[in-house]
Amino acid sequence: MRQALEIINTLPDSFQRALEAGDVLFFPSTVHRYVEHNVEFEIRLCPALQKKPQLPMLDFSTAVEVQPKKSDPFAPPYVPNLYLGELRDEQEDAEYVILFNKYSIVPHHFLMVTKEYQPQTKPLLPPDLVQVYMLLLAAQRAGRRFFAFYNCGDLSGASQPHKHVQLLPLEDDGPPIERLARATKIDYPDRPFALESLPYANHVRRLPPSLAMGTYDVLERTLADAFLSLLDLTVATVRHDPEYPSGTPSYNFVLTLEHMHVIPRKKENHVLSETGEPLSVNALGFAGCLLVKSERELEAVKGEGVGKILRGVGLESVHDILASEHPDDLGGLHDGEQASP
């Protein structure tokens, strides 16, 4: 926890230095609110992104355990002003490097990267989950709020093949999807549930309020159990789709101190009906925060609807079918209902 607190506390000064040195490129943006499916989505307009260098398309089909031959921005030597420190999981002998996101739309956006190369197609491991949770907890204890997200697989919206979790600061009680999860009543707090008002497959676990006070073993066991249960549901959801592409399923992962979300993915992009142009969606979109590059794209998203866009890259919910197949493992679709305001 001490290492995590030190990293969180250095963010403001370190970000300013990186910005002044030109090592972090900051793109100003404006947030537009859009209410749909009981969620106040945030559509962030950032015209400057039209000038951002285009990254090459990733091909995960030949992903291997060794570092790719192409340049890896997450490998040493690190840019000094982007490097925030390292975390070591003594229990599992896992090491991580903490780096600023070079292309920043929100100040203090940073990444937790595996020090040794691991592919972005691999699921999060118990030490990954523990270290990310401890960074979120350290932020809370420093008087700040962050959430974490992970894009897993070639259909998830991932932009780099080196395994990394992203952490983004919050200015309110979000991210937007978390407010819906928080307002959902469930009968079985230790079982997965679905946010049934959303038009796409989603799987959620509520974390115990006492988890923040738990020992390392409690953290690891609780987080790993939650993640595996959601991953099992993601795989089961994919199996119910006869047209799902072959290969390892892709998904998006969102973590706060209160909930863990896993959303299965079928496509990386959604083609906007108004413009005919692709809109890339990653875990931020499923957290309730879509990113657009122009006023035209903003209006196209509003016109089409965020729910339709997310359903376009996600899957149909079969949570009720899964609940009937595994009644002892699920809280059940019908157990969750939105709490009265």
- Region 168-187 average pLDDT: 92
Residues 6+ apart with CB under 8 A from 198: 37, 39, 180, 307, 310, 317
Residue 322: per-residue pLDDT: 84
- Cβ pair 330, 319 in contact under 8 A: yes
Task: Give yes or no for residue 336 having a pLDDT over 50.
Answer: no
pLDDT over 60 at 62, yes or no: no
Return the closest-CA partner of residue 181 out of 320, 56, 7, 339.
339
Residue ranges of the domains in the chain?
1-34+93-266+313-325
Q: What number is the average pLDDT over the span 203-208?
A: 97
**Under 8 Å between Cβ of 157 and 282:** yes
Of 59 and 153, more confident: 153
Cβ-Cβ contacts under 8 Å for 328 (sequence gap 6 or more): none
Mean pLDDT of 53-63: 47
Superfamily of domain 1-34+93-266+313-325: ATP adenylyltransferase (3.30.428.70)
Mean pLDDT confidence for 190-213: 95
Region 220-224: mean pLDDT is 97
Please name which of 256, 261, 282, 286 lies closest in space to residue 132, comparing C-alpha atoms.
Answer: 256
pLDDT of amino acid 61? 45
pLDDT at 118: 95
Q: In what order do the strands lie in the sheet with 30-36?
A: 30-36, 39-45, 289-292
Helix (H), strand (E) at residue 306: helix 306-313
Report strand pairing: 103-104 vs 25-26: parallel
**Would the pLDDT of 319 be above 70?**
yes
pLDDT of residue 55: 46
pTM of the model: 0.91
> Does the structure show a pLDDT above 70 at 58?
no
Share of the chain above pLDDT 70, in %: 90
- The number of angstroms, rounded, from the C-alpha of 25 to the middle of its chain's C-alpha atoms is 22
Tell me, what's the pLDDT at 323?
79
Please write the tens of the pLDDT for every residue from 128-173: 999 999 999 999 999 999 999 999 999 998 889 999 999 999 988 8
Give me 45's structure tokens. Answer: 């307009």
